[in-house]
Amino acid sequence: MTSLAGRVAVVTGASRGIGRGIALALGEQGATVYVTGRTSREGAHALPGTVGATASEVTARGGNGVAVAVDHADDEQVAALFARVQREQGRLDILVNNAFALPDDLTAPQPFWEKPLSYWQMIDVGVRSSYVASWHAARIMAPQGSGLVVATSGYTGVSYTYGVVFGTAKAAVDRMARDMAVELKPYNVASLSLWLGLTFTERAEQALAQDPAMQAQTVTNPVVGSSVEFPGRVIAALANDPQIMARTGGTYIAAELAAGYGVTDIDGSVPPSLRAERGAPIYAPL
């Protein structure tokens, strides 16, 4: 499939996990994908994956993968990234804000006052980083009169999941996507937030293996999970939707969009929506 041939995307936090899966799915449809993340050398992180490895996979899938080592807590590195995209491509069609500073002990049961204040890093790299990346992306997209900005979020935006800061961060990106949509709409640039359920990232699989009891919980029951590429397939469908501006400003459950677009996971399945069990998005499209 090459339905995204000629399109340029930036996917943040794509050394591994959900970002990697999104980059691969966009690359499979022919996009040029700038893969960002902090890990540029195998072994530098406890989990496998580098920006270079992801970019190579994107190219192998039929796209054009471009690896860029970026610490999204560093505004100068982010500015350099988008300056490079502008210089090399002259356009930007898709930004996926996925970079997130996820603590290793996120699922620990302690209350917030017994967890370190460093948990606030989820706001710094998760909320603020998404704003900075979107600020730069909008300066490319608005003048060209087109573009799509997607925030990866989840049910935790309305349903308690693992702690105070995690929920605060996801609720914030939902609202930020909504308000950015209001200001981007006159320029024909769409902004929306995408709720993902359990996604089988390297970290998630490790956690499920270490604590089998998690498999009995609604939020982490493998039956409702998806591959890391599933969100990317949904984003590709959004990018190809000629009526995308009708969706701008909304928060959407990926499983529900997939059913509407006829998108399946890599095994042919469609993960279920957990709207009834975990809550509904707050923001409808503008």
pLDDT (0 to 100) of residue 208? 59
> Could you tell me the CA-to-CA distances from 107 to 48, 52, 203, 207, 214 in Å, in that order?
21, 29, 11, 9, 10
Mean pLDDT, residues 62-68: 98
Do residues 86 and 140 make contact, with C-beta atoms less than 8 angstroms apart? yes
pLDDT tens-digit series, residues 91-107? 999 999 999 998 988 88
Query: How many whole angstroms separate alpha carbon 154 and alpha carbon 98?
Result: 12
Do residues 157 and 194 make contact, with C-beta atoms less than 8 angstroms apart? no
pLDDT tens-digit series, residues 275-286? 999 999 999 999
Mean pLDDT, residues 58-86: 98
pLDDT (0 to 100) of residue 197? 87
Q: What is the CA radius of gyration of the chain?
A: 17
Do residues 123 and 165 make contact, with C-beta atoms less than 8 angstroms apart? yes
Using CB atoms within 10 A of its CB, is residue 12 exposed (0-12), middle (13-18) or buried (19+)?
buried
pLDDT (0 to 100) of residue 277? 93
Q: What is the mean pLDDT of the chain?
A: 92
pLDDT (0 to 100) of residue 210? 65
pLDDT tens-digit series, residues 232-264? 999 999 999 999 999 999 999 999 999 999 999
Tell how strand 8-11 and strand 94-97 pair up: parallel
Do residues 198 and 254 make contact, with C-beta atoms less than 8 angstroms apart? no
pLDDT tens-digit series, residues 183-232? 999 999 999 999 998 887 777 666 656 666 666 666 666 667 789 999 99
Bridge partners for 148 per DSSP: 94, 190
pTM above 0.85, yes or no: yes
Q: How confident is the model at residue 145 (pLDDT cuts 50, 70, 90)?
A: very high
Mean pLDDT, residues 123-134: 98
pLDDT (0 to 100) of residue 109? 86
Structure-token pair, residue 38: 């902090």
Query: How many whole angstroms separate alpha carbon 186 and alpha carbon 268?
Result: 38
Instruction: Count Cβ neighbours within 10 Å for each residue of 229-251 and write b for 16 or more, e otherwise.
Output: bbbbbbbbbbbebeebbebbbbb
Q: How is the chain split into domains, by residue range? A: 8-278
CATH topology of domain 8-278: Rossmann fold (3.40.50)
Strand ranges inside 155-250, DSSP E: 189-196
pLDDT (0 to 100) of residue 225? 78
